[in-house]
Structure 1
């Protein structure tokens, strides 16, 4: 009897040890430990997008409010999450810190979902948890803009949005309890609204279908709407951020006007490898009349689920809706983890395939695999390559970049970046000619690794030059602005940042024409930097936009790669 009792106790302990909730908890602890370490990652294409987060988070840390005090390409949540972590984990690799910051928002609804689903099936709970952790932890996009091993510092907000859409879909598909649905939906939708508006619209499509399909009762739907509006009113009353954010969205829409149909076609072609089998699977499910997995029948117990709801609540339609929502979100994206929100639906389909046999079973299983595998294979392959080659990479030379300098790349790329810096500085007239003719030095300049590595090295040069100028002239610049896409210098030098300007300053699609308030703020900036390595059309456009505000600044030469405008 004693042996039997011990055996039973061991089995229970083993079950608790391998609980999905416990695994998620331990992963969060491991993330905290890793953020304490000075890890290094290889620089990837468009890596400087990461600095937009650092700039925004630093602004929040010094008391600025997104959309109120500066124009941002995404919602305020991104910077609110990173700001306290940037101070707490000063040695953390910045890309990992930004990527994992979303766990503060994404982990709570997954705890709720896993606790509920795990009561019925631990295997199903693990099948929801593992994809969540995989895509949440790895800073990689499905898309690839470089054949060399590296990590992706761009598209982070798209990856974050995809993770939240995945969590929302898990809740809508697998939760039964209406109170839990309320908690998961209000949490994820509020986060999506404050993160990226296109993700919020995609979530609205999913939630609307969940309501008409009987997954969500009228009472819960009204409660979600009321709670959502109440939260926005409270945020706006305390910070004034909601109205300012909506104005920013309107300005971004005007700056990025285009044909939505063409964007759908572009997104469809880019992600055809996922879209085609997923669409084919939806048609096959409808054709074979495959309904729902047995446990999903419980969801039809929603108070007001009627005949129409029972007809709509089918795997084939859920898959079609998630495809549409995911595709809409991808119409506005350059990079991310596309269409992973269909995974919970694919899992629900997989749990019901026992109703099929023969050729129909083989077809459905093949289409499930074809739709599910591309994101996983791409991200896993690129991550493995980036990790395996780390031993052959060298550190990017820097002395004053703080944690931003915890990066590596191939020695020949670092060497080329150094030589190109010399070319840019010795022959500025060549690059001025290119800029005057609306040409970049390379057609894909910003995705080229040597440019990204070189930009970090040149930014390090700027910090040193600024300190030397301040020491030589017995002054200290309180506010610093950079006429460039990114501005890490207030963060690197612990200074103030110019208010009311755009961060992530792409003048073609993310910089509104400056109003008098903006120009006044720029004119009061102590140091306005202008990068020369290389001269580009974007930098020239930014200088033209803000030229009225620098008219009374003193022009200085800081270094071979940097010019400046000092407030008199």
Structure 2
């Protein structure tokens, strides 16, 4: 027979193993070990979004400041986090690096939250921690853009703010310790502001509800605001980054003017799998507590004070509605990511505060909460499992010069299709130039097709080889390199400089302001400017047109089958070339 003492020891060991803090610490250690290994991931839709981080990190390592020295589509913190983690794990797979770098912020904050909650309920602490870890670990968006097993190299900014908003909601709804609440709210709101302003606005809405519900009091709110402003003031005085960041936000607002209602409808449509059940849940909560809500609303109208307002605001209906609206707002600004995951703490609180309901109402509530959460949880887990198991038979991208950027795989037939299309782009460029002149793409979904992403990486590998060959042949050195393309990985791959003031993530339709005199001067001073031909696209033509005033005195050469290049007058003079003459012989490159 097993003694009572032995059984107690087993129970204590099991309790320690189930400790949320132990699970979190073990997870972080395992992730760190994985970043030491030369892992690959199956390349997916819009994967080249990931390489924006390498452009930014290269600039940061060379002393440039996000927003001050180059235009950014979002705030600086995500780039700083990636640069720090890449410096520690230089062999790490890039997408895993950027996905897990957010743990520098979210790890300590979620630890504070679950440590506080665990004192009262281990089950609740685990119910908050485990879903968070799923979304934090897997580089998978909640909506699918490509049907073959793959990972998502886009929507990274949105994933980051969704994960931070998750921590904020968990803290506001479940933390009771005043110091912990202060640290988590301050930390999450600072991170949201410095990563993406839409996340900060969504978090601000949730904080307003928390203040109304007296989850946080005025004194704590003022203290959070004071520390928040103090940190921003330090960053502004030290780096001048805050005003530059706000200027970039204003520029993006002008570039992305549109119908806000249409964006909300689009976000609601994309996320209807969970937004629909959330709306039904809000309606059900309203019906179930109709009389109670009426009494609380009447109390507010008759005695409008903090106590009566808190009685109305601190209700499951209000919390679910507020977090759902905040999620919809975040998604309306830029779709893609892990939208709506941070509604879960409000849903968990709703279930715990359900009170005494009959069987039918309990079943209805459970069904609607499950329908509002399980679709995205199962989507991310299933797609993550498919991606990392499915790539066992995938082919690794062959390359010579890509380093960790080439740590990707894909189905052999897709890899072959990419090679064939790259060859066709070079042998039949007129077709694709005609398509680009019409303002269209060869395929409406070109950028989210993995074969295009592979073709692009193959052409980048070709260009790096061509640059090295040209430098060796002509005994020259390109110190600054720019790409008339969405992203510019060349300075990183060649250990060179990127020109100052140039936008990263260069989508000319929504993320590249018209260049002023200082930007054009920076372009003129650039040693080598690359123009991609595999394929020629309308977006790249628009970028070339934007910077055309700075290219008039450049010498255009054919660098390789997939790339034209513009050489600065100084470099061209050193090569003793005239007008449109090309180097001879053409550099040999390997695909």
TM-score (norm 1): 0.96
Q: Please report how far the alpha carbon of residue 354 of structure 1 lies from its aligned counterpart in structure 2 after TM superposition.
A: 5.3
- Equivalent positions of 1:454-533 (< 5 A) are 454-533=455-534
Give yes or no for contact 1:81–1:104 (8 Å, CA) kept in 2. Answer: yes
- Equivalent positions of 1:78-477 (< 5 A) are 78-289=78-289, 306-353=307-354, 355-477=356-478
Give yes or no for contact 2:68–2:244 (8 Å, CA) kept in 1. Answer: yes
Quick check: 1:46 aligned with 2:35? no
Any gaps of 5 or more consecutive residues in structure 2?
A: 293-304, 570-591
Q: Which runs of 4+ in 1 moved over 6 A?
A: none
Structure 2 counterpart of 1:301: none
Structure 1 stretch displaced more, 402-411 or 385-394: 385-394
d(CA) in 2 for partners of 1:375 and 1:8? 39
Give yes or no for contact 1:291–1:315 (8 Å, CA) kept in 2. Answer: no
d(CA) in 1 for partners of 2:344 and 2:78? 25
Q: Please report how far the alpha carbon of residue 12 of structure 1 lies from its aligned counterpart in structure 2 after TM superposition.
A: 2.8
d(CA) in 1 for partners of 2:353 and 2:155? 35
Quick check: 1:73 aligned with 2:73? yes
Q: Please report how far the alpha carbon of residue 10 of structure 1 lies from its aligned counterpart in structure 2 after TM superposition.
A: 4.4
Secondary structure of 2:56 counterpart: helix
Give yes or no for contact 2:402–2:461 (8 Å, CA) kept in 1. Answer: yes
Give yes or no for contact 2:57–2:83 (8 Å, CA) kept in 1. Answer: yes
Secondary structure of 1:48 counterpart: helix
Q: Please report how far the alpha carbon of residue 439 of structure 1 lies from its aligned counterpart in structure 2 after TM superposition.
A: 1.5
Question: 1:412-445 CA distances to partner (integer Å, 9 max, x unpaired)?
Answer: 1111111111111011111111111111111111
d(CA) in 1 for partners of 2:356 and 2:502? 59
d(CA) in 2 for partners of 1:404 and 1:63? 22
d(CA) in 1 for partners of 2:12 and 2:415? 54
d(CA) in 2 for partners of 1:22 and 1:253? 44
d(CA) in 2 for partners of 1:540 and 1:148? 31
Q: Please report how far the alpha carbon of residue 7 of structure 1 lies from its aligned counterpart in structure 2 after TM superposition.
A: 4.9
d(CA) in 2 for partners of 1:387 and 1:377? 15
Give yes or no for contact 1:291–1:314 (8 Å, CA) kept in 2. Answer: no
d(CA) in 2 for partners of 1:13 and 1:153? 40
d(CA) in 2 for partners of 1:290 and 1:103? 41
Give yes or no for contact 2:75–2:194 (8 Å, CA) kept in 1. Answer: yes
d(CA) in 2 for partners of 1:130 and 1:357? 30
Question: 1:489-529 CA distances to partner (integer Å, 9 max, x unpaired)?
Answer: 00101100111010000000000000111111111111000
d(CA) in 2 for partners of 1:266 and 1:432? 32
Give yes or no for contact 1:72–1:502 (8 Å, CA) kept in 2. Answer: yes
Q: Please report how far the alpha carbon of residue 3 of structure 1 lies from its aligned counterpart in structure 2 after TM superposition.
A: 6.3
Q: Please report how far the alpha carbon of residue 286 of structure 1 lies from its aligned counterpart in structure 2 after TM superposition.
A: 2.5
Secondary structure of 1:530 counterpart: strand
Quick check: 1:555 aligned with 2:556? yes
Structure 2 counterpart of 1:19: 19
d(CA) in 1 for partners of 2:144 and 2:349? 30
Give yes or no for contact 1:158–1:335 (8 Å, CA) kept in 2. Answer: yes
Give yes or no for contact 1:206–1:321 (8 Å, CA) kept in 2. Answer: yes
Give yes or no for contact 1:252–1:509 (8 Å, CA) kept in 2. Answer: yes
Structure 1 counterpart of 2:302: none
With over 3 angstroms needed to count, the CA separation of the structure-2 counterparts of 1:290 and 1:61, relative to structure 1, is farther
Structure 1 stretch displaced more, 544-553 or 183-192: 544-553
Q: Please report how far the alpha carbon of residue 9 of structure 1 lies from its aligned counterpart in structure 2 after TM superposition.
A: 4.4
d(CA) in 2 for partners of 1:246 and 1:171? 28
d(CA) in 2 for partners of 1:8 and 1:239? 57
Give yes or no for contact 1:338–1:375 (8 Å, CA) kept in 2. Answer: no
d(CA) in 2 for partners of 1:418 and 1:412? 10
Secondary structure of 1:496 counterpart: coil
Structure 1 stretch displaced more, 440-449 or 240-249: 440-449
Question: 1:314-373 CA distances to partner (integer Å, 9 max, x unpaired)?
Answer: 011110011111100000123111101110011112223352122111111110110011
Give yes or no for contact 2:267–2:335 (8 Å, CA) kept in 1. Answer: no
Secondary structure of 1:331 counterpart: helix
With over 3 angstroms needed to count, the CA separation of the structure-2 counterparts of 1:316 and 1:64, relative to structure 1, is same
With over 3 angstroms needed to count, the CA separation of the structure-2 counterparts of 1:29 and 1:499, relative to structure 1, is same
Question: 1:456-480 CA distances to partner (integer Å, 9 max, x unpaired)?
Answer: 1111001100000000110111110
d(CA) in 1 for partners of 2:12 and 2:397? 50
Q: Please report how far the alpha carbon of residue 291 of structure 1 lies from its aligned counterpart in structure 2 after TM superposition.
A: 11
Question: 1:194-237 CA distances to partner (integer Å, 9 max, x unpaired)?
Answer: 00000000000000110011111110011111111111000000
d(CA) in 1 for partners of 2:506 and 2:419? 25
Quick check: 1:62 aligned with 2:73? no
Secondary structure of 2:47 counterpart: coil
Structure 1 stretch displaced more, 4-13 or 251-260: 4-13
Q: Please report how far the alpha carbon of residue 179 of structure 1 lies from its aligned counterpart in structure 2 after TM superposition.
A: 2.3
Question: Between Structure 1 and Structure 2, how many residues are aligned?
Answer: 556
Question: 1:243-291 CA distances to partner (integer Å, 9 max, x unpaired)?
Answer: 0000000000000001111111111111111111112112212321299
Q: Please report how far the alpha carbon of residue 118 of structure 1 lies from its aligned counterpart in structure 2 after TM superposition.
A: 0.0
Quick check: 1:539 aligned with 2:540? yes
Question: 1:355-394 CA distances to partner (integer Å, 9 max, x unpaired)?
Answer: 2122111111110110011111211121121122212210
